[in-house]
Structure 1
Amino acid sequence: MVLKRFAELSTPLVADACMRAGVGLRVAPAGVVGVVPGGRVAGRVLPVRHYGSVDVFLEAYGAAAPGDVLVIDNGGRTDEACVGDLAVLEARAAGIAGVVVWGLHRDTPELVEIGLPVFSYGSLPLGPLRLDGREPEALATARFGPHLVSAADAVFADADGVLFVPGARLDEVLETAAGIARTERSQAERIRSGDTLRRQTSFEEFLERRAADPGYSFRQHLRRVGGAIEE
């Protein structure tokens, strides 16, 4: 299960792993946060586009597999909340692991009580006052910022934000992220024990090499010495 594999990781680690593995980064625009601080979720994308009515969510739930994450495309709108307590309760009943919204939510106290991870750009009391025409792709793809996602993708969300990874590269990315995590944990423990990061990364050597070769980057150096500060 994707969420179980994500338990010891984070979105920054997954992002670094994508860069190391050459997987194109699809990171949501900054500002998406969990309704409950510290919440996190990961799973296959269950895409849906919102047009002003909850019916499209209910239809999407019929195709959900346990552990899917509902990714709602509401165009990043800030003039309405597109999801609330009843839709989230029904999502939980359908076996969905969490909800990620390109837009706003409402019913915050009820969502906290329900406990299903919900990520959005914030809350607003007002629900939709519109009913737009439905696109053929309503249940096939969802936009999230500049990115288009589908059930062929996995989504990861935590306190640092949201990103998407192609399902076909998921195992590779998660294995790479786990390796980076091990390296970073080791580096952190060594810093706490008095072995500075500058010494661990042979920073003086880097400065000398850069002086001789201005094109020598710190990222190149880190890869040569086995560091994992940045990609």
Structure 2
Amino acid sequence: MTMSEPLDPNVARAAKLDTATLSDALDKLGIAGQCYRIKPRDVNFRMTGRAWTLLYGPAGKPCGTVGDYIDDVPPGSIVVLDNGGRDNATVWGDILTEIAHRRGIAGTLIDGVCRDTALCRQLGYPIFSKDHWMRTGKDRVQVEATGVPVNIGDARVAPGDIVRGDADGVLVIPKEHESAVLDTAEAIEVAEEAIRNAVRGGMRLDEARKQFKYHQLQTRQEG
């Protein structure tokens, strides 16, 4: 096992599921965990791990630091940076990418923008953010707190929550609900595979969907 591989059973389970399936499970359980408008900087990026969180705010006077935290992030974690959705100042660049990749950190998630995207693509280090731009966050934003709940694309992310990202985007599975979400997602995946196999065997799609209760898969359960 390398440092970047999942460190616990539920992270390993989440890594086997795509975000579309997990999103359906979140919807069924009434949990808002999808991070709106957050995208991978490369469609080939995949990441799964537990959240290590940091909150930014506007820089004061004198200005606080943008943060020298990276050596404190456990291997296998996802660095989750809440920069308030700012698109005019970055909080992640090539030095952090290189160190995070070398230390076996599983990826970075930003409610905001990053820069130096060529290196993350070259190294295959996953970064998910609203966009990318070159202007530094130095003297524009500062660290307010680490290890606190943050907001990423209108989704609440608490320290230790499971973060899963792929080509379709990124979502968070709250720690207190992760077993229920994963159980539901795995059941959805089994049903959808059964539908595909039935259609490949000659069954009409509408019949297969009815037999395997497709239209109930994402319907929010009551209670």
* Runs of 4 or more above 6 Å deviation: none
Percentage of matched positions with identical amino acids: 26
Name the SS of the counterpart of 1:125 in structure 2: coil
Residue from 114, 124, 128 that aligns with 2:133 = 124
Cα root mean square deviation, aligned: 2.6
Higher relative contact order (CA 8 A, sep 6+): 2
Structure 1 CA distance for aligned equivalents of residues 64 and 103 of structure 2: 15
Which residue matches 2:3? none
Structure 1 residues 2-37: Cα deviation after superposition (integer angstroms, max 9, x where no partner): 5532333111211222233x252222112x221221
Larger fraction in strand: 2
Structure 1 CA distance for aligned equivalents of residues 197 and 143 of structure 2: 53
How many residues align? The count is 206
Which residue matches 1:146? 154
Which residue matches 1:83? 92
Task: Report the CA distance between 1:102 and its aligned residue.
Answer: 0.8
Q: Is the 8 A contact 1:57 1:87 kept in 2?
A: no
Larger fraction in helix: 1
Residue from 32, 37, 48 that aligns with 1:42 = 48
2:45 corresponds to 1:28: no
Task: Report the CA distance between 1:196 and its aligned residue.
Answer: 1.8
Q: Is the 8 A contact 2:26 2:33 kept in 1?
A: no
Name the SS of the counterpart of 1:17 in structure 2: helix
Structure 1 residues 31-82: Cα deviation after superposition (integer angstroms, max 9, x where no partner): x2212212111211110123579955432541x2331101111111111222
**One-letter amino acid of the structure 2 residue matched with residue 78 of structure 1:** D
Q: Is the 8 A contact 1:54 1:87 kept in 2?
A: no
Which residue matches 1:92? 101
Name the SS of the counterpart of 2:163 in structure 1: strand
2:153 corresponds to 1:165: no
Name the SS of the counterpart of 2:85 in structure 1: coil
CA separation of 1:191 and 1:55: change in aligned 2, threshold 3 A: farther
TM-score, with length taken from structure 1: 0.77
Structure 1 CA distance for aligned equivalents of residues 78 and 67 of structure 2: 12
Q: Is the 8 A contact 1:69 1:98 kept in 2?
A: yes
Which residue matches 1:211? none
TM-score, with length taken from structure 2: 0.80
Name the SS of the counterpart of 1:71 in structure 2: strand
Structure 1 residues 77-133: Cα deviation after superposition (integer angstroms, max 9, x where no partner): 111222111111222233310001111111111111121111112221222253445
Q: Is the 8 A contact 2:45 2:167 kept in 1?
A: yes
Which residue matches 1:58? 68
**One-letter amino acid of the structure 2 residue matched with residue 109 of structure 1:** A
Which is higher, the Rg of structure 1 or of structure 2? 1
CA separation of 1:230 and 1:141: change in aligned 2, threshold 3 A: closer
For structure 2, the 5+ residue unaligned runs are 1-5
